[in-house]
Amino acid sequence: MCPDEERSQPPMSLITIIWSMSASACLTLGGISFLIWCRNRTALSNLVFSLLALGASAWTICELWMMRAATPVEFATVLRWGHVAVWLIVVSLVGFVHFYLHSGRSWLAWTICGVRTLLLVVNFVVGKNLNYLEVTRLGHMRLLGESVVIPEGVHNPWILLGQLNLVMLIIFLVDASVTTWRRGDRARAITVGGSIVFYVLVSTAQSLFTFYGIVRLPYVGTVFFIGLIAVLGFELSGETIRASQLDRRVREVEAGLHEIEERMTLAVESADFGIWIRDLVRNEIWATDKWRALFGFPEAERLEFNRILDRIHSEDRDTFISAHKKATEGDGSYETEYRVVLPSGEVRWIGSRGRAELDDAGKPILVRGVSHDISGRKLAELESRELRKEIAHVDRVSMMGQLASALAHEINQPLGAILRNAEAAELFLQSASPDLDEIRAILADIRKDDQRAGTVIERMRTLLRRQTLDKRPVDVGELVGEVIALVRPDAIARRVKLELAVADHLPRVFGDAVHLQQVLLNLIVNGMDAIDEAKPGDRRIRVIASLSGAQAVSITVSDSGRGIPADILTHIFDPFFTTKPKGMGMGLPICRTIIELHNGRLWAENRPEGGASFQFTLSTAEQTVTK
Amino acid sequence: MSKDAPIVHVVDDDASFLSAISRLLRASGFSVKTYSSAHEFLAQHDAATPGCVLADLHMPKMNGLDLQSVLDQTANPLPIVFLTGHGDIPSSVRAMRGGAEDFLEKTGPKKKLVEAVTRALTRDSREREARARRRELRARFDTLTERELEVLSHVVRGQLNKQIAGDLGIHERTVKLHRTAITTKLKVQSVAELTSLTQEAGIFPLPFPKGQ
């Protein structure tokens, strides 16, 4: 170490310490802010702040260098590059105000940045730098016990634009601060806006005074910038703290939501409801464990709509699909009942209701539904229906039985009398001298009793005929549909599949709907009995309604039973002919009578593919009316 | 006791059938009386006259089964044959359980009807004789004193005079006297006859031990 140098440059240089510490402090704060931005790319104010800090740091180094410049050329060159830092400071300051305070007039902001960029170009093109066309000599002064450089030279006229630019920046900042204040964000307006205005104002003033030689000082903007960086850094750290507080709040809210979800789940599970949500956009299905249990899906298995559809009983699938269509394409909600067949083969009745959620365009995006097991209720329903049917049957049988019994008694009285009289007459005639008066009396009695028997029969016939038909135009589709709905529970209980095929645009028929339904009901129930007797694997009844010729509609009920033996086929419409242990043998004769009273025909035949088919025709309403 | 010919009482609310069946029965050789209701029959009924009842099961007010239970209460219940327009099983079962002779359809064969009536009359006369004999025996037993009945009960059990005297605490001679009185009053000659008569009269409820 040279002792001469030690004298001219004290070992403890305060300027070096202050300026280099300022530069590194700016870099540190900027670095931290930059890292924050790296982890959260939406925190643009942090990015802008780090650029500001970088610019301030660079300018600090330039200042230190300029204070120690050995030649005018060196000073001019450093100042020229220092303007890059100034550009960065101005632009990032504008950006910071924009991103952090969300205020300031954008046209002013763009103008400031544009002018500053123009000045940067001028800085490199005109003269030595923006300040000086030529630095003529370097003067010296003492600062903090050290000798520092003060420049002298020819001023660059563009510097006036630079000064105007700084004034514009101050106006921009004041305007932005005022806007922030008025918006009600007063703390920020003061700490951020106020401090920026203050530091920019004083640093501009200092540089102007220095430039015009009013104050003999080197460029010491650093002193002010470090204050600005410190204030803004503090403000941003507060932001980080707020972010973490917000994060905690979010966590609390999430915990609350979880609690609500738990309660919901508890309520839903204790009510034995299963919940499922079908996301139509992502084509995903989510369901609670209870729902999975209802449908027999293991917990881990991925749910797909088609796989759920497979679980649904084949006869109820259409019902299920149309319910969902109603929700997604219709009024947005559905309510339905269907059967689910579990992998074990167990069948379960499910009641389900739900609602679709629509996006702004009215397009369904998801469907939420709740399902629960209604097997118990369904079973009870079926049982009560069965019971009702049984009671009705017993009623009918006993009524018919009483009728038949009364008829037999009434008829047997005169028949018995006739028989006994005839037998008595025979005995009288066997005697040697028959009492002819007695025999005449007997014959008169026989005639009387015969008339009596005839009267009884006539009375019965009038009694049975008293039922009159109330004929009016009837929609065949509705007629058949109502009967199908009526027998469906029985059919399900008896595991018989009902198929219905009604031709489109069928004309209405002219008849008594109640009596016609009775006929259809009778034929369908007969069909089910035939299936039960035969016990075939294929258990189905098909009801077909179609146009028969121009003026008649034909309705066919065919079953998959064994068919009707040929020797019986000709008798099935005879009164009191029955093959059933409990049968009265009156069903088919009554059916035929009803159809004939409608001017139609009812007949039976065996189908070539097996089973029997009963068909009847009815004339259309139009045809009957014109007749 | 009347020695009159047995009468077939026909009860039916149907006048036409009533006259027809009475003609047939008369032509078949029976004495017939007709009644249009059970009440009319009961009002005129004389239990002493043998016969049988031919009644319609279905009659207004008192039907055939009611008539049967009333007849059962009388001293000489007449056998009853039921007639019906058509057979129904529960009524016929009840009728037969109640001791009805038969259960016939009105339009049934004549042969069955005549057979049933004949059988009913035969049963009536048989039961009548049995009842008369029992009444006559009872009258004979009624003449015995209490002591004599007591001795009789021991005699029919096959006990010797000495045993009876021991049991009753009386002298053997006294037992012999009682036995003589009993055989005189009951008009029997042997112990065997005495035993069977006692059995026939149904005097003692206990089963008789084997005769000596």
In-domain check, residue A143: yes
Q: For residue A600, what are its two tokens?
A: 């139609």
Q: Sign of the C-alpha dihedral, residues A367, A372, A377, A379?
A: positive
State what percent of residues in chain A have pLDDT above 70.
Answer: 91
Q: Are residues A44 and A190 in the same domain?
A: yes
Residue-level pLDDT at A320: 86
Q: Quick check: A421 contacting B, CB < 8 Å?
A: yes
Enumerate residues 6+ apart whose C-beta is below 8 A from B84: B56, B57, B58, B91, B92, B103, B104, B105, B106
A465 vs chain B: nearest CA distance in angstroms? 25
Identify the sign of the CA torsion A97, A103, A105, A106. positive
pLDDT given at position B211: 39
Residue A238 has pLDDT above 90, yes or no: no
pLDDT digits (tens, 9 = 90+) for A46-97: 899 899 999 989 988 998 888 888 888 888 899 899 999 999 999 999 998 8
Q: Are A273 and A290 in contact (CB under 8 A)?
A: yes
Q: Residue A161 sits in which domain range?
A: 13-245
The segment with the largest mean pLDDT, out of A375-384, A463-472, B32-41, B87-96, is B32-41
Q: Is residue A251 domain-resident?
A: no
Residue A406 pLDDT class (50, 70, 90 cuts): low
Q: How confident is the model at residue A479 (pLDDT cuts 50, 70, 90)?
A: confident
| A425 and A495, same domain (yes or no) | no
| Nearest-neighbour CA in chain B from A572: distance (Å) | 26
- Yes or no, beta carbons of B27 and A427 under 8 Å apart: yes
**In this predicted structure, what is the pLDDT of residue B101?**
80
Count of other CB atoms within 10 angstroms of residue B202: 11
Q: Which of A76-80, A89-93, A122-126, B184-188 has the lowest mean pLDDT?
A: B184-188
The CATH number for B7-136, chosen from 3.40.640.10, 3.40.50.1000, 3.20.20.70, 3.40.50.2300, is: 3.40.50.2300
Q: Which of A163-167, A507-511, A570-574 has the lowest mean pLDDT?
A: A570-574
Q: What is the pLDDT of residue B212?
A: 36
- The pair of structure tokens assigned to B96 is 């037969």
Sequence length of chain A is 627
Q: Is residue A231 part of a domain?
A: yes
Task: Say how many domains are in chain A.
Answer: 4
Q: Are residues A303 and A395 in the same domain?
A: no
Give the HSE-up count for residue A601: Cα atoms under 13 Å, Cβ half-sphere.
4
Domain boundary among the residues A373, A403, A428 is at A373
A239 and A314 together in one domain: no
pLDDT over 50 at A625, yes or no: no
What is the per-residue pLDDT for A401?
A: 58
Residues of A in contact with B107 (CB under 8 A): 412, 415-416, 419
Lowest mean per-residue pLDDT among A192-206, A442-456, A581-595:
A581-595
The pLDDT tens digits for B7-39 are 999 999 888 899 999 999 998 899 999 999 889
Which of A410, A416, A442 is nearest residue B23 as measured by Cβ atoms? A442
Q: Where in chain B is the domain with CATH 1.10.10.10?
A: 143-201
Residue extent(s) of CATH 3.40.50.2300 domains in chain B? 7-136
Residue A116 has pLDDT above 50, yes or no: yes
Q: Does B16 touch chain A (CB under 8 A)?
A: yes
Choose among A157, A9, A132: nearest CA to A70. Answer: A9
Q: How many other CB atoms sit within 10 Å of the CB of residue A161?
A: 16
Whether the per-residue pLDDT at A466 is higher than 70: the answer is: no
- What confidence tier does A111 reach under pLDDT thresholds 50, 70, 90? very high
CA of B123 to nearest chain A CA: how many angstroms apart? 24
In this predicted structure, the answer to whether residue B183 has a pLDDT above a threshold of 60 is yes
Strand partners, A27: none
A427 with B28: Cβ contact below 8 A: yes
3-state class (DSSP) for residue B202: coil
Chain A nearest C-alpha distance from B81 (Å):
16
A28, part of any domain = yes
What integer pLDDT is reported at residue B10 of this predicted model? 94
Of all residues in chain B, the one with the smallest CA distance to A445 is B16
Task: Count CB atoms within 10 A of the CB of residue A248.
Answer: 10
Is A289 a domain residue?
yes
What integer is the mean pLDDT of A327-331? 79
Percent of residues, chain B, with pLDDT higher than 90: 17
Selected for mutation to probe chain A from B86, B105, B114 (highest A CB count within 10 Å) is B86
Residue A386 pLDDT exceeds 80: no
Q: Looking at beta carbons, which residues of chain B come within 8 Å of A405?
A: 86, 88
- Are A121 and A241 in a shared domain? yes
A453 contacts in chain B (CB < 8 Å): none
Residue A402: list chain B partners with CB under 8 A. Answer: none
DSSP letter for A620, please: B
B16 contacts A424? CB cut-off 8 A? no
pLDDT score for B7: 92
The domain defined by B143-201 folds into Arc Repressor Mutant, subunit A (1.10.10)
Rounded to 5°, the CA angle A98-A100-A103 comes to 45
**A573 & A512 share domain:** yes
B112 in reach of chain A (CB within 8 A): no
Q: Residue A424: its chain B contacts at CB < 8 A?
A: 20, 23-24, 26-27
Cβ contact, residue pair B24, A405, below 8 Å: no
Q: Give the C-alpha separation, B30 to B118, whole Å.
A: 9
Q: B160: how many CB neighbours lie within 10 A of its CB?
A: 13
The secondary structure element, H or E, covering residue A374 is none
| Predicted pLDDT of residue A613 | 93
Name which residue leads in pLDDT, A20 or A465.
Answer: A20
Domain identity same for A477 and A360? no
Query: Does residue A151 have a pLDDT over 80?
Result: yes
Question: Are A84 and A145 in a shared domain?
Answer: yes
What local confidence, expressed as pLDDT, does residue A598 receive? 85
Residue for token digits 């204050």? A227
Which candidate from B21, B27, B86 shows the least CB-CB separation from A409? B86
DSSP-derived letter for residue B77 is P
Q: What share of chain A is helix, strand, coil (3-state, %, to 5)?
A: 60, 15, 20
Q: For B84-125, how does the pLDDT look when each residue is reduced to its tens digit (9 = 90+)?
A: 876 666 677 777 777 788 888 888 888 889 999 999 999 999
Residue A568 pLDDT grade (very low, low, confident, very high; cuts 50, 70, 90): confident
- Residue of B20, B26, B28 with shortest CB distance to A417: B20
User: Is A289 in the same domain as A303?
Assistant: yes
| pLDDT the model gives residue A381 | 78
Instruction: Find the DSSP H helices in A212-312.
Output: 221-270, 289-295, 305-311
In this prediction, residue A4 carries a pLDDT of 45
Q: Residue A367 is part of a domain; what is its CATH number?
A: 3.30.450.20
- CB-based contact A607:A510 (threshold 8 Å): no
Chain A residues whose beta carbon lies within 8 Å of the beta carbon of residue B110: 419-420, 423
Mean pLDDT of chain A: 83
pLDDT of residue B210: 42
Distance from CA of A409 to the nearest CA of B (A): 5
Probe site for chain B from A402, A423, A450 (most B CB atoms < 10 A) = A423
Least CB–CB distance from A416: residue in B17, B28, B88:
B17
Among A317, A344, A373, the domain boundary falls at: A373
Residue A307 pLDDT greater than 60, yes or no: yes
Out of B20, B58, B86, name the one closest to residue A420 (CB): B20
Q: How far B16 CA sits from the closest chain A CA (Å)?
A: 6
Which residues of A are less than 8 Å from B23 in CB distance? 420-421, 424, 438, 442
Pairing relation of β-strands A552-559 and A540-547? antiparallel
pLDDT for B151: 84
Residues A305 and A326 both lie in one domain? yes
Residues 6+ apart with CB under 8 A from A217: A141, A143, A150, A206, A209, A210
- Domain final residue pick, A245, A263, A292: A245
Among candidate residues A383, A595, A577, A398, the one with its CA nearest the CA of residue A489:
A383
A475 secondary structure, DSSP code: -
Q: What is the CATH number of the domain that holds A503?
A: 3.30.565.10
**pLDDT higher than threshold 60 for residue A1:** no
CB atoms B106 and A413 under 8 Å: yes
More confident residue, A265 or B115: B115
pLDDT at position A6 is 44
Same domain, A362 and A387: no
Chain B, residues 21-50, CB within 8 A of chain A, namely: 21, 23-24, 26-28
Complex ipTM over 0.85: no
Q: Are residues A366 and A492 in the same domain?
A: no
Chain A residue at shortest CA distance from B24 = A424
Q: What is the pLDDT of residues A184-230, one digit of tens each?
A: 888 888 888 888 888 888 888 888 887 787 877 777 777 777 788 88
Structure tokens at A613: 């088919």
Q: A417 in contact with B at a CB cutoff of 8 Å?
A: yes
CA distances from A446 to A442, A450, B113 (A): 6, 6, 19
Judged against a pLDDT cut of 70, whether residue A19 lies above it is answered with yes
What are the beta bridge partners of residue A428?
none
The amino acid at A487:
V
In this complex, is the C-beta atom of B4 within 8 Å of any C-beta atom belonging to chain A?
no
